[in-house]
Structure 1
Amino acid sequence: MPLILLVVVFYFLLIRPQRKRQQEQLQMQNSLVPGTRVVTTTGLFATVTAIEDDDVVLEVAPGVETRWVKGAIGRVLTPVEEETVDNGDAVQDTALGEPVVDADRGANEGSTDKKS
């Protein structure tokens, strides 16, 4: 009896959620259309320019296109409103998710350079 219970728990905690994630990933990859901003599984940000069978042509920079398999697309980026959020020390651009240098603060502020 404990062995059967262990198999059932294993199924509901590990196997079922993994299958659900795989189905969601496959659905996302099949719903790609040209013009969609994506991130590959290796971390490359690009825009889909064409879809051919199991291949996707991605534009990584203006005029630079590369061919990838659909399985290499990790996620689709959703467009966000351009706004900046001040979170203390650094200002973060929420559209890109990257820190932005605050023009009011000195470039060498907090520097640990010691002069002898």
Structure 2
Amino acid sequence: MNPVTLLPFIVLIGAMFLMTRSAKKKQAAAAQMRNEMQPGTGVRTIGGMYATVKELHDDTVVLEIAPGVHAIYGKNAIGAVLDDAEYNRIVHGDGDDIDGAIVPDDASSLTETAGSDKPVEADADEDSSDDAKIDLGKKADDVEPKDAKADKKSEDKADGEADAK
């Protein structure tokens, strides 16, 4: 057999070996992380829920998902064990200072100019009243009032009955 024809198979087998090896390493690291959990540790489940470990059993763990609220999860449902500082930052917001950014409680910043506290005035040629009508492209004579349409239908119906007699 020609060695050139065997080359793709050798590469494929080698790639499968490397993928299997890295997957096994990840599984072993995850199992070790789960075994290092202790009561009081903050965790994140694979579903993205943050909780505190209350009790550990062979295959399960009791998590406190809110004060006084406990739930039983399988150990394999724990996605990450968090250190105390990270858990407190995420769950309690401790130490959250995003570059001193201030988020307003209302929409007043949307109507103010950059350097003043005075609201931005609407253009003089625009109608700023709340009752301003919007042009939808229909002409006034094209639109019949709803009552006129109903009257027209009843007249047509009456004419049809008269013709039938």
TM-score by length of 2: 0.52
Match of 1:18 in 2: 23
Look up the equivalent residue of 2:76 and give its one-letter code: G
Which is further off, 1-10 or 54-63?
1-10
Number of residue pairs matched? 98
Residue aligning to 1:4: 10
After superposition, what is the alpha-carbon deviation per residue over 1:1-51, rounded to whole angstroms, capped at 9, x for unaligned?
Answer: 311122112322x21111111111111111110000001111111000111
* Amino acid of the structure 1 residue aligned with 2:106: A
| C-alpha contact (below 8 Å) 2:61/2:72 kept by paired residues | yes
Map 1:1-116 onto structure 2 (within 5 A): 1-2=6-7, 3-12=9-18, 14-80=19-85, 82-83=94-95, 84-86=97-99, 91=101, 102=102, 105=104, 107-108=106-107, 109-110=109-110, 116=130
Q: Identify if the C-alpha distance between structure 1 residues 24 and 110 changes in structure 2 by more than 3 Å, giving closer, same or farther.
A: farther
Give structure 1 regions of 4+ aligned residues with deviation exceeding 4 angstroms: none
Look up the equivalent residue of 1:38 and give its one-letter code: V
Give the unaligned 5+ runs of structure 2: 1-5, 87-93, 112-127, 131-165
Taking only the aligned residue pairs, the percentage that are identical comes to: 36
Structure 1: 5+ residue stretches without partners: 92-101
Larger relative strand fraction:
1
**Larger Rg, first or second structure (1 or 2):** 2
Inter-CA distance 75–110: structure 2 relative to 1 (3 Å threshold): farther
CA-atom RMSD, angstroms? 2.3
Mapped partners of 2:35, 2:61: distance in 1: 11
Higher helix share: 2
* TM-score, normalised with respect to structure 1: 0.72
